């Protein structure tokens, strides 16, 4: 099994026949095309390419907002993102079950973004009108330290 031959065998990697047979000028041209970057000065509007009906593009308003904090014990989880939701369209009550129905495919679509600028850029890219609801600044309630121990009917914790 062990060979006493002192020659080393190198791994041979076969080249692609397309690259071997191509003209060197053509290979150079392909490299230049691969390295070029196309820049567009005007903002890009992809609304005509998405396949969304025009009535959903031209007449829609989008609300960009920070969601309210959950009342459960999760604290501030998922409140640092910005959400995007569409305005509500025509709804009707389903005569059979009494459920609320709509013919709007975008009514239940919510998207999350890390910044409001990213959400606004997405709306501009899709051709939607939007408005941004800025969150109200948080103001902690002013309270004295002694109020924690005061005997007040409103703040008293009952043992029963």
Report pTM: 0.58
**Residue-by-residue pLDDT tens, the chain, 160 positions:** 555 556 666 777 777 777 777 888 888 888 888 888 777 777 777 777 777 778 777 788 999 999 888 777 777 777 789 999 998 888 889 888 989 888 888 888 889 999 999 999 999 888 889 999 998 888 888 778 877 777 766 666 666 5
> Which DSSP symbol is given to 40?
-
Contacts with 45 (C-beta within 8 Å, 6 or more apart), sequence order = 124, 125, 126, 127
Domains with residue ranges and CATH for the chain: 54-132 (3.30.160)
């Amino acid at each position: 099994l062990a060979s006493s031959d002192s020659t080393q065998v190198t791994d041979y990697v076969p080249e692609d026949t397309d690259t071997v047979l191509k003209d060197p000028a053509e290979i150079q041209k392909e490299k230049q095309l691969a390295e070029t970057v196309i820049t567009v000065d005007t903002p890009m509007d992809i609304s005509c390419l998405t396949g969304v009906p025009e009535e959903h593009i031209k007449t829609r308003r989008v609300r960009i907002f920070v969601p309210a904090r959950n009342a459960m014990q999760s604290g501030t989880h998922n409140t640092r993102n910005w959400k995007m939701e569409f305005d509500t369209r025509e709804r009707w009550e389903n005569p059979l079950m009494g459920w609320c129905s709509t013919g709007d495919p975008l009514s239940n679509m919510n998207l999350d973004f890390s910044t409001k600028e990213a959400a606004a850029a997405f709306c501009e890219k899709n051709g939607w009108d939007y408005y941004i609801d800025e969150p109200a600044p948080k103001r902690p309630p002013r309270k004295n330290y002694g109020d924690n121990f005061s005997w007040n009917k409103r703040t008293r914790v009952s043992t029963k």
